[in-house]
Amino acid sequence: MENGQVKKKFLDSNYAYFLIGFTIGMLILIIYGTYKTNKDSKSKNNNDSAAIRKVVLPEIPDSLNFAGEPVPMYNFEVKERIEREFLVNTYWYASTILALKRANRWFPVIEPILRKYNIPDDFKYVPVVESNLTNAASSAGAIGYWQFTKDVARKFGLEVNNQVDERYNVKKSTEAACKYFIAADSEFNNWTLAAAAFNMGSNGLKDQLEKQKAKNYYNHVLSDETSRYIPRIIAMKEILTHPEEYGYYLKHDELYMPLKTFDVEVNSSVKNWADFAFSQGINYKILKFYNPWLRDTFLKNKRNKTYTIEIPEKGSIKIVKEE
């Protein structure tokens, strides 16, 4: 009787161990199966994602021009320079997206000024390349959308001092750029060379023309910056003109809208621009945003020069409320 009970307990314990072992084994199989399925699925997703991210060479038109002057794409070296700029600017996503957004705001400002001076429309892409349509400041002291140095800015009619710097004024600096292009085209009788001169300086370009005994921009050995300058303008012209062909699908409401303003003329000194701003129903920050060429908090204006201040139209912006 006692031995039978022991035997029964022994069998019961073996059965329990079997059940435990079987359960653990099944759990291991389930866990392994789940892991392998997830791994295979992840691998498949990665392969699919890689297929989606497939990088291709941007399509480059066979025929290109700048300001109506043809680009010699039959020359392999020129073609490779052009290709480089299409690659860089097509896949430099953030910069190119910002250029597209800003162009919607600033091209309507720049285009009529170019027309006023009979400058080819393609020159509107120059400030895209120079500053990506921002009031940038370079280490060399070039400032604004068109990147004028102080001396060149003054030469072409811009006021530059501690209180007023018209290099930051898009309209004024565009007019100065037009005057530069007219002078350069008159000297070189070629719009492509006029644009190159804007980058490296007319005197520097003239010196290279004489030394290298060549008249065509594409036949010159120039600095890396100037060699890339015209191809970069051409690439940005094509990408911004046909953005969807290069993978950019921005909705209209995602672009920066033109600024709605009216002009207020000032022909006397201003003790404090913040007080002036409040008198116009805005604050100093808004005044500076629309008039970044005002470089100090006051204006002496000893000669009673007339300045045009841009003020946002009522209702066109919402000003942050003071606490």
Domain range annotation of the chain: 8-40, 65-254, 261-312
Between 260 and 8, name the one with better pLDDT: 260
How high is the pLDDT of residue 238? 97
How high is the pLDDT of residue 317? 87
How high is the pLDDT of residue 142? 96
List, as own/partner pairs, every contact residues 287-296 make where C-beta atoms lie below 8 angstroms and the sequence separation is at least 24, other chains included: 287/311, 290/259, 290/261, 291/169, 292/135, 292/168, 292/169, 293/164, 293/165, 293/166, 293/167, 293/168, 293/169, 293/172, 294/163, 294/164, 295/161, 295/162, 295/163, 295/164, 295/165, 295/168, 296/162, 296/163
List, as own/partner pairs, every contact residues 142-145 make where C-beta atoms lie below 8 angstroms and the sequence separation is at least 24, other chains included: 143/167, 143/168, 144/168, 144/169, 144/170, 144/173, 145/106, 145/170, 145/173, 145/174
Three-class SS state of 81 = helix
Q: What would the pLDDT profile of 212-250 be if each residue is shown by its tens digit?
A: 999 999 999 999 999 999 999 999 999 999 999 999 999
- The mean pLDDT value for 70-98 works out to 96
Q: What pTM was estimated for this model as a whole?
A: 0.83
Question: Above pLDDT 90, what percent of the chain?
Answer: 78
**Which bin fits 69, alpha (ψ -120 to 50), beta or left (φ > 0)?**
beta
- Block residue for tokens 């003071």: 322
Confidence bin at 315 (pLDDT 50/70/90):
confident
CA dihedral 182, 185, 190, 194 (to 10 degrees): -80
How high is the pLDDT of residue 11? 45
Confidence bin at 7 (pLDDT 50/70/90):
very low
Whether 137 has a pLDDT exceeding 60, the answer reads: yes
Confidence bin at 130 (pLDDT 50/70/90):
very high
Q: How far is CA 182 from CA 117, 156, 162, 197, 225, in A?
A: 8, 11, 29, 11, 22
CATH architecture of 65-254: Orthogonal Bundle (1.10)
- The mean pLDDT value for 175-202 works out to 97
Between 53 and 283, name the one with better pLDDT: 283
Exposure class string for 153-166: b at 16+ Cβ within 10 A, else e: bbebebbbeeebbb
Q: What would the pLDDT profile of 145-176 be if each residue is shown by its tens digit?
A: 999 999 999 999 999 999 999 999 999 999 99
